[in-house]
Structure 1
Amino acid sequence: MELGFSMYPEQYPLQTSFEYINMLADYGAKRLFLSLLQIDTDSSDCFQIYKDIVQYANSKGIRVVADISPRFIEAHRWRLNLMEMAHEFGLSGIRLDESLDISEITKLTHNKYGIKIELNASTEDKLLKELLSEGANKENLMGCHNFYPHRYTGLSREHFLKMSQIYHEHQIETSVFISSNTASEGPWPVSEGLPTLEELRDLPIELQVDILKCTGLFDNVIVSNQWIQETELKSLVDRLADENIIFKYHPYEPSDIETAILESQHRYRGDISDYVIRSTESRLAFVDADISPRNENAIEHTARGVLTIDNNHYLRYKGELQIVLKPYPKSPKVNIVGKIDDNYLILLDYIKPWQLFKLFLCS
């Protein structure tokens, strides 16, 4: 997934915006989201600010997609030559805040500038289906979810995955918003985070990214609130670049051998169990190790998120690491060595077979 970001720059000096773009560009950002909805016809200064920002972003190799509406199009006299005006403004895509007529959108997708028409991926798929049936140029269609400033109004998991899967199946570039925890500004006064998916709202940004990586449904993740701090940005970019999924965990006094197994590279085995995620490569790496049974953990049943390692009594399974998905009675052949941190239990719902993962101690 590529990195994108959002800006709401009209209250700040232009140089401040340029410096922010520089930082994001240095970390590999390739996309900028802007909203032009709030620009009035008499706001020539504001209009120029946005145009300068778009052109500066373009000079840094960042493509810009802007939210526009029929009201904006009429107010700024873009109606008759919409794509020419968007091209002159420096836009790579336009996101339609309110839908135009189907035939008009279809025609827009065949523009000579290669400007993309971005659809709202958070509501329903009727518009997408109608456009495809009308002969729209699929290469110039994109999907992007909404963000939700108001707590508890973000998308449900079921609807989010359903809508995202539709765009993915049609091989249409799709974007999703994540929320920075070091930034608080969005387009509206309400500041309660700006995620697409409600259950991501208060999570660390690197965990948000790993959840979206697990789905395999998105081409771009866009930081929705502006002025993300560099430390958090670096953490975000590191997660985007790493094919591993990261679980943070609390140890239960593992031995040196068990610690080495915990710190190994892991892969979710492909034959799925209801009860555990299995990582079996450590069985080969530690085939000659002594993994003595340990019964000091007075736990009668395992719990979701518990980390176990099979001990000497499990013979050929010795050294296998498992993450418990569903509680089962504790076995003397299994050593309990830790537990996934509560914040990271959500990843167990998303991780898929064959995905690589690593375990890191909670700091």
Structure 2
Amino acid sequence: MFGFSVFMNQDLTQSDLAQMEELAVSFKGMFTSMHIPEDDSASYRKRLGVIGAFAKKHQLSLMVDISGNALAEAGFSIDHLEDLLTLGVTGLRMDYAIDNRQIAQFSRQMRIALNASTLTEKDVHELRAYDADFTQLEAWHNYYPRPETGLDAQWVQEKNRWLKDQGFYVQVFVPGDDRLRGPLYAGLPTLEDHRDMSPFAAAIAMQQSGTVDAVYIGDGGLTPQSIKQFNDYLQNGFITLRVKDCGSAYLDNVVGMHQNRQDEARDVLRSADARFGEVRMVKAEAPQLRQKGAVTIDNELYLRYMGEIQVCKSVLPADPRVNVAAQVIDADVPLIQHIHAGMQFKIERDEENE
């Protein structure tokens, strides 16, 4: 499941609401944080009402991060969670100030998220002893605004396996690429490896890790190009690879929908249908080194393989029988390793940078 974040530090603008409408087409969850200054409590209650109404209208889950006296400062009571449910809030992410006995009690009323990184065997034992409803419990990792403080990928994988074994639903954040959250504007990822990665590539990597149930965008925005990639994948089931022109006469030949062959190759994605049916003459062009992400088409020197379209998974040497027709943009190169046997992918021009 994929979700997005909405922050309450200011009133939602028409632009904010328009993007939320776009995201609600494919995303199924929302996250917001109620870390509030005391003198702004009235604004936060109003803003949470707007976000909650949107969540209910679009049938989205809404997880709210609370800390300390945040609920009380906004005019809510932790003893009357039904008020939040009425607004459209479906879950609360609890901090360390709330003990496991209370958490177990709350889990019988709504979904409760705990800090995935700091959960211990002792916590799990206590939650079971207090009869927590583990079908309502989630383990959410933090996001890390400061560069170099994001979590280690291997450590997160191991932690997530343990959390899954305990019965938790596991969530992580990946960075956005529009309207990054201040004051550092350096993305809001869980993993440090994802800080400079495109949101879609980071999200697909986490989804395919096998240890994550939900991936949320940490920052408050995505570019139109990223939204399109998510929608292509979540609505239509294919991964889009954006490419740049390499000066080949055969760029138009490789643009379009493809399916990776069922017999998955080590070095390349092989378009299953590219050289079958009517194949136009492909003249040889100057051979060049095939970088990772090179999109190639076999020329007439490859005889019956003429017209085969491939995407390179690694650097391959120049071959006079192979034309380099396009190059996957750097942001999308990490996606190639996630296109497996039989998966559909689309090659399209990177219009933003043309």
Q: TM-score, normalised by structure 1?
A: 0.74
**1: CA distance, partners of 2:282 / 2:167:** 48
Residue 65 of structure 1 corresponds to 63
Secondary structure at the residue paired with 2:311?
Answer: strand
Deviation at 1:127, TM superposition (A): 7.3
Identify the match of residue 139 of structure 1 among 135, 142, 146: 135
1:1-363 alignment, distance < 5 Å: 1-9=1-9, 12-13=10-11, 16=12, 20-21=16-17, 23-25=19-21, 27-28=23-24, 30-38=28-36, 40=38, 44-46=41-43, 48-61=45-58, 62-69=60-67, 72=70, 78=77, 81=79, 83-84=81-82, 86-87=84-85, 90-98=88-96, 100-111=98-109, 115-122=110-117, 126=121, 130=125, 136-163=132-159, 173-186=169-182, 189-209=183-203, 211-212=205-206, 215=209, 220-226=214-220, 228=221, 231=224, 234-235=227-228, 238-239=231-232, 240-256=234-250, 259-260=252-253, 262-286=254-278, 288-292=279-283, 294=284, 296-297=286-287, 299=288, 302-362=290-350, 363=354
Count residues with an aligned counterpart. 345
- What are the ranges of 5 or more consecutive residues in structure 2 without an aligned counterpart? none
Deviation at 1:93, TM superposition (A): 0.3
| Aligned Cα root-mean-square deviation (Å) | 3.9
**2: CA distance, partners of 1:116 / 1:127:** 21
Deviation at 1:357, TM superposition (A): 1.2
**2: CA distance, partners of 1:336 / 1:236:** 24
Amino acid at match of 1:158: Q
- Percent identity of equivalent pairs: 23
Deviation at 1:183, TM superposition (A): 0.7
- What are the ranges of 5 or more consecutive residues in structure 1 without an aligned counterpart? none
Q: TM-score, normalised by structure 2?
A: 0.76
Q: Is the 8 A contact 1:7 1:32 kept in 2?
A: no
Amino acid at match of 2:114: L
**1: CA distance, partners of 2:159 / 2:277:** 42
The verdict on how the C-alpha distance between 1:199 and 1:246 changes in structure 2, with shifts beyond 3 A counting, is farther
**1: CA distance, partners of 2:90 / 2:71:** 16
Q: Is the 8 A contact 1:308 1:323 kept in 2?
A: yes
In terms of mean alpha carbon deviation, does 239-248 or 46-55 score higher? 46-55
Secondary structure at the residue paired with 2:64?
Answer: strand
Secondary structure at the residue paired with 1:108?
Answer: helix
**1: CA distance, partners of 2:48 / 2:245:** 53
